[in-house]
Amino acid sequence: MRRILEYQKARSIDEALALWREAPSARYLAGGTDLLPRARAGGASPGRLVDIKGIPELAAIEELPSGDIAIGAAVSVAAVAAHPAVRRRFPALALCASALGSYPLRHRATVAGNICNASPCADTAAALLCLDAYVRCASPSGTRRISIHEWFLGPGQTSLAPGELAVAVELPAAAAGGRAELGRISRRQGVDIATVAVLLVAVPGADRRHRVAMLSVAPTPRRVPEAEDLLDRMGASAAAQAAQAAMSAAQPIDDVRGSAAYRREMVGVLLQRAARALGAD
């Protein structure tokens, strides 16, 4: 492990960006549940950590005048899972947040950090994909919003530019409502990352009534529009066909948590279970 030489606590977004500019190898720190264990395991360690947890505007969940909800980058996964407006309006995210890791981990980890890590098994990513979320980012040149569908570039890779800070995850009002069912398999239930997971969101009356996302079966978390189209057209009667479409879209690998063949098969099983549970409205 390369030693972390310096720790700095930012009091504002501008200060965080300035601290990074002074040391371009720096990393922003919110929960640290991915960054620090990776460094301890021998991965690359930043020379400077810029702690953003104390920035007030990053520590809040805000309902915007547009009806969107903005989740600050320092808000814990547990706070998101328990937030009344998130539970009421975006149950898919509350469900996925509740499934992430262990109780202590959820109180430390953040939703923004979960997707900045860009793991193929990032639990909250499944919900954010189904909700067509955006990530609001800040840099010295200003702010921008990145669609979650353009966020993941590969394992550990995102659309963030060097030094850019993810400041909030935005849930659009247009995606609110509906019901969600999460199928998730892990080696140690409740504490381990997903070997495979499938999320189905059903929103009666929406243009896209069914939304399907899967984890741990491709280089990035992935939506499955082919399965969604089948469920939209034919409802629960298309569950088996939708499962086949999801299995075809999967690109799993063999690793210590499961074989590619097992993962692909479980994608189909979990999607059919979810469709039955929701009745594929």
Query: Each residue of 40-76: pLDDT tens digit?
Result: 555 556 778 999 999 999 999 999 999 999 999 999 9
What is the location of CATH 3.30.390.50 in the chain?
Answer: 178-278
Q: Taking residues 157-165, what's their average pLDDT?
A: 97
The pLDDT value recorded for residue 43 is 58
Lowest-pLDDT choice from 113-122, 186-195, 232-241, 260-269: 186-195
- Please identify, in words, the CATH class of the domain defined by 58-174: alpha beta
pLDDT band at 192 (very low <50, low <70, confident <90, very high): confident
CA angle 191–195–196, rounded 5-degree value: 120
pLDDT band at 1 (very low <50, low <70, confident <90, very high): very low
Q: Taking residues 115-121, what's their average pLDDT?
A: 95
* CATH 3.30.390.50 is held by the domain 178-278: yes
Question: What is the per-residue burial (b if ≥16 Cβ within 10 Å, else e) of 135-147?
Answer: bbbbbeeeeeebe
What is the location of CATH 3.30.465.10 in the chain?
Answer: 58-174
pLDDT higher than 70, residue 34: no
The pLDDT value recorded for residue 41 is 53
Residue 2 is given by DSSP the state: P
Q: What is the reported pTM? A: 0.93
